A and B are shown apart, each in its own frame.
Chain A
Amino acid sequence: MTSYLWMWVAIVGAGLLAWATKYAGHVVPERFLENPRVHRIAAYVTVALLFALFAVQAFTTDGAIVFDARVVAVAVAAVLLWMRAPFIVVVVAAAAVAAVLRLIF
Chain B
Amino acid sequence: MARLNPGRLSLRGLDPARQQAVSVSVATGAYAISFGALSVAAGLDVWQTMALSLLVFSGGSQFAFVGVIAAGGGAAAAVATSTFLGLRNGFYGVGLAPVLRPMSGLRRVWAAHMTIDESTAVSLAQPADDLEARRAGFWWTGVGVFILWNTITVVGALVGERIGDPADWGLDAAAAAAFLGLVWPRLASRPAQAVAGASAVLALLLTPVTPAGVPILAAALVAIAVGWRAPKFRDEVPE
Residues of A in contact with B (beta carbons under 8 Å apart): 6-19, 21-28, 30, 33, 36-37, 39-60, 62-65, 69-70, 73-74, 77-78, 81, 86-88, 90-100, 102
Contacts and interface: CB of A to CB of B under 8 A. Distances in A.
A17 B204 CA distance: 28
A60 B71 contact: yes
B16 interface: no
Given A10-B79, A39-B237, A94-B176, A26 B115 contact: yes
Contact of B204 (A28, A39, A65): A65
A57 B55 contact: no
A28 B178 CA distance: 32
B56 A91 contact: no
A95 to B, nearest CB: 4
A88 B106 CA distance: 35
B115 to A, nearest CB: 4
Given A48-B219, A51-B196, A91-B34, A73 B113 contact: no
Contact of A95 (B68, B79, B173, B224): B173
Contact of A12 (B3, B55, B58): B55
Interface of B: 3, 5, 27, 30-31, 33-34, 44, 48, 51-52, 54-58, 60-61, 63-65, 67-72, 75-76, 78-79, 81-94, 96-97, 100, 103, 108-109, 111-113, 115, 167-184, 186-187, 191-192, 195-200, 202-204, 207-208, 212, 215-220, 222-224, 226-228, 230-231, 237-239
Contact of B60 (A23, A46, A56): A46
A62 to B, nearest CB: 7
B204 A55 contact: yes
A57 B227 contact: no
A90 to B, nearest CB: 5
A55 to B, nearest CB: 4
Contacts of A17: 79, 82-83, 86
